[in-house]
Chains A and B, each alone.
Chain A
Amino acid sequence: MVRTADAVVIGGGIHGCSCALHLARRGISVVVVEKDHVGRHASGVNAGGVRRLGRALPEIPLSVAAMGLWHNIAELVDDDCQFVPSGQVRVAENGEEARGLEERASLLRDAGFNHEVVIGREELRDLLPAVSPHCVGGMVVVDDGHANPYRTTMAFKRKAESLGVRVLEQVRVLRIAKRQGTWRVDTSTDPLDVPVLINCAGAWGDSVAVMLGEPVPMQAYAPMLMITARMPFFVKPVVGAQGRTLSLKQFANGTVLIGGGVRGNAVRTTNTASLEFGGLSVNARTAAQILPTMRGARIVRCWAGIEGYMPDGIPVIGPGRQEGVFHAFGFSAHGFQLGPIVGSIIADLVTTGATAHPIGPFRIDRFDSPPQRQRDALT
């Protein structure tokens, strides 16, 4: 039996579920197709960081807009997603790093953003009493925070379903072809006929793009995380480091999550992401050096999730080359926070053909070689 709908979303991560939700709010009928289960990959297993701090310049407007939604997330999805506006801080361990932070702050001020605030040694100590004495300062965004990723993704899914979205799990998209002005999507079960197709396939986004004739230079890696047994409460904001890879946060239940982007190995065909303890060791050392209390922590679990990385570290968001095609993938390990807004942007594009958000830098054709781009412009 052929299914039909106004739109199909490929991928049941945060972006897929958010697109579905925002489209459904605008009266569009949507089917989400997910090859595993919703939240199985990056969106369900990430570090839950909700930050504007340290974002690449082109992402800042989107990130700022997303933050507005995060602070009222229950209004959007009927669940608090365990979002905690704990603040985020990036620690400088020496003068040079502190100067780097100053430069960054002034760069942002010039671009019209004031959320990143540089703090000195004393303020850092007030904010982070457990910080190692060698740290000289930092940069803070006070109402950044963190949320529970799996719970958030499920909340988006449930809310979307309550608005009529159908979510098909364990169904894989195999082929896509244009037939009489609609897209025929062949899946591992029944095919779908839809006018609109949205690629939110995360670390598999490039293979969906290939099905649409739009190859992109994406790579898949597996950022690793480790979590400790419950510890006495000792750190409120999410802690990162200017000079090294680190992101550390303590949840209300006392467990501490350590990550920041140290990579394990991703094998996309088998859905496996294997750990690399050499890298985790370096990550652990960084945590212990910046917050010495961490030496006594007990790591109870480690994991890695598969994520798609673009060469320039920012995602693909926007229309594809063919009519009715939209992309939102390749979030390069910082897409969770953008989830609530990207769905709304895609819904803008689908329903009105335009969006007020500046998405130019995320065009899919930015990786084309210049002649290719010219050829595209001519045709």
Chain B
Amino acid sequence: MKSHYQLAIVGAGPAGMAAAAAAAECGATSVVFDEQPAPGGQIYRAVETPAAVDRAILGVDYWRGAELAKTLRDCGVDYVPGATVWQVSPTREIGVTVDGTAMLITADQVIVATGALERPFPVPGWTLPSVMTAGSAQVLLKSAALAADGAVFAGTGPLLYLVAWQYVQAGVAVKAVLDTTPISNYFRATRHLAGALRAPQYLMKGIRLLRGIKKAGVPLIRGVRDLRMRGDDAVSAVEYRRGHDWQRIEADQVFLHQGVVPNVNLSYSIGCRHTWNEAQLCWQATTDSWGESTVEGVAIAGDGAGINGALAAEYQGRIAALGALYRLGTIDADERARRAAPARAALAAERRIRPFLETLYRPPKYFRVPPDDQTVVCRCEEVDVAAIRKAVAVGCVGPNQLKSFSRCGMGPCQGRLCGLTVSELIADFTDLPVSEIGYYRLRPPIKPLLLAELAELQTPAASDR
């Protein structure tokens, strides 16, 4: 690892891996940092060393990641696994910890490819042990060949069905899938069907997943509009409502999911401008057509700049890298355009399905803005809806004032699991658009940093150069 690179890429998911490959083709000195021990990101996690014997259970799409990982290993960029990037400054000074040593390095260009995280799902009891996310079920499946027998899956969105399907493929009993997709979404989504039909593979895939789940005899309960988790020391039952009456399913494992949203902690902390995306109901960094953010020399690629899926992330990674290479002077405008053309065409095709998916799987307000006063919003500091209501009433009309007043968002997750809920809750209480409410002001370190590591920080002057 060097103390200076022309290009530094944060994240080794599809966007980061594709960006690295593009940079290598043009010969820029580049580095890829990722917290995980191996390449792949969330979607292709453990793709080089999958845990399960039976490859088929993960589905064909997963294996595309193997090729990307191989390219990353072979293409000649410095790939640093186990590296936690805890700051990128607006002048592109990067703070990273590897094996317990924190250091500062610099880069001329930075690509943030830190991907997405699952949208918070604040329902009563969601903090109980054994209430986890669908994403977490998949991580356990991919990297540890572990699955929970008799789990309930609840929520909406492709990932929920995919993981339930993967469970079924693995022969694991699924107690029920509680689908929270509002029935009205189906009608609204038909408007975007034409676009969706131009990418029929996604429609077919969705139909295949649901058919597989039903064929296995898993109860698929649609139109769920109220959910709560029950249990003392851990979850023991899920209660749900479709109409008036509560129903109860005994279960000692629940997986929740209502879509994914950009992981904006790094881009916010750099100072990039973000806007509210009303179609995707999330904050996203503002970028130009080459992925460059409002901070010069910092580009955002992949889900971090808006959710478009794994394939799109790959194309965006490539485009962002070409943009960075152009700014470095490594390639000229013509070469940039020529090299980007196939990726642009493929990206456009990928995006056609989005309006349909966003409309169909748009999580309803009652699962985003918890109606129940006792529902915990900030898991770290255990701040509930009532406390937020009270703080807003005494004049905390923004996330930052709320934070100072109630500790909401001040715990170690740094708002990742409450930020969106807080923005939308305050908007609801004050009757203002979410775009005016804003988000937490985030500062580095974006991950907790051991004081001893900071005390012994290696600066560029100290290490080699």
Contact = CB atoms under 8 A, between A and B. Distances in A.
Interface of A: 37, 39-40, 44-45, 150-151, 154, 157-158, 228-229, 272, 274-275, 277-278, 280-281, 284-285, 287-288, 294-303
A150 B405 contact: yes
B404 interface: yes
23 contacts: A39-B401, A40-B400, A44-B404, A150-B405, A274-B90, A275-B87, A277-B444, A277-B454, A277-B457, A278-B104, A278-B459, A281-B457, A284-B455, A287-B451, A288-B455, A295-B450, A297-B450, A298-B451, A300-B411, A300-B412, A300-B448, A301-B414, A302-B445
B412 A229 contact: yes
Contacts of B271: 272, 274
B95 interface: yes
A275 B394 contact: no
A228 B411 CA distance: 10
B451 A288 contact: yes
B343 interface: no
A206 to B, nearest CB: 25
Given A277-B444, A295-B455, 4 more contacts: A150-B404, A285-B455, A295-B451, A297-B450
Interface in B80-110: 87, 89-90, 93, 95, 104
The 6 closest A-B pairs by CB, nearest first: A150-B404, A281-B457, A295-B452, A285-B455, A298-B448, A284-B455
A298 B404 contact: no
Contacts of A229: 412, 448
Contacts of A288: 451-452, 455
Contacts, number: 91
A295 B451 CA distance: 5
A275 B87 CA distance: 10
Given A151-B405, A158-B394, A296-B450, A278 B457 contact: yes
A277 B104 CA distance: 8
Nearest to B401: A37
A284 B452 CA distance: 7
B443 A275 contact: yes
B405 A301 contact: no
Contacts of B454: 277, 280-281, 284, 299
A45 B405 CA distance: 12
B398 A302 contact: no
A133 to B, nearest CB: 18
Nearest to A44: B404
A303 B104 CA distance: 18
Interface string B259-301: 0000000000001000000000000000000000000000000
B414 to A, nearest CB: 7
Contacts of B395: 154, 157-158
Nearest to B87: A277
B202 to A, nearest CB: 40
Is chain B's interface secondary structure helix, strand, loop, or mixed overall? loop
B410 interface: yes
A281 B448 contact: no
Contacts of B457: 277-278, 281, 284
A302 B444 CA distance: 6
A263 to B, nearest CB: 15
B153 to A, nearest CB: 32
Interface in B2-47: none
Interface of B: 87, 89-90, 93, 95, 104, 271, 394-395, 398, 400-401, 404-405, 410-412, 414, 443-445, 448-452, 454-457, 459
Among A37, A45, A158, A301, max chain B CB count under 10 A is at: A301
A40 B395 CA distance: 13
Contacts of B451: 228, 284, 287-288, 294-299
A274 B404 contact: no
B394 A281 contact: no
A288 B451 CA distance: 8
Contacts of A37: 398, 401
A16 B203 CA distance: 61
A44 B395 CA distance: 14
A38 B404 CA distance: 12
Contacts of A297: 450-451
B394 A301 contact: no
A373 B410 CA distance: 50
Contacts of A281: 454-457, 459
B274 to A, nearest CB: 15
Contacts of B444: 275, 277, 302
Nearest to B407: A253
B432 to A, nearest CB: 13
A300 B414 CA distance: 8
A287 B89 CA distance: 24
Contacts of A158: 394-395
A301 B443 contact: yes
Contacts of B411: 300
Contacts of A298: 412, 448-451
Contact of B445 (A150, A294, A299): A299
A294 B404 CA distance: 24
A154 B452 contact: no
Contact of B443 (A151, A154, A287, A302): A302
Contacts of A275: 87, 89, 443-444
Contacts of A296: 450-452
B452 A299 contact: no
Contacts of A228: 451
Contacts of B450: 295-299
Given A37-B398, A275-B443, A299 B405 contact: no
Among B395, B451, B455, max chain A CB count under 10 A is at: B451
Contacts of A284: 451, 454-455, 457
A281 B102 CA distance: 10
Contacts of B95: 277
Contact of B405 (A40, A154, A277): A154
Contacts of B400: 40
Contact of B410 (A39, A274, A301): A301
Contacts of B414: 300-301
A375 B405 CA distance: 50
A303 B410 CA distance: 12
A301 B95 CA distance: 14
Contacts of B89: 274-275
A277 B445 CA distance: 10
Nearest to A272: B271
Nearest to B397: A37
A300 B87 CA distance: 12
B377 to A, nearest CB: 19
B265 to A, nearest CB: 12
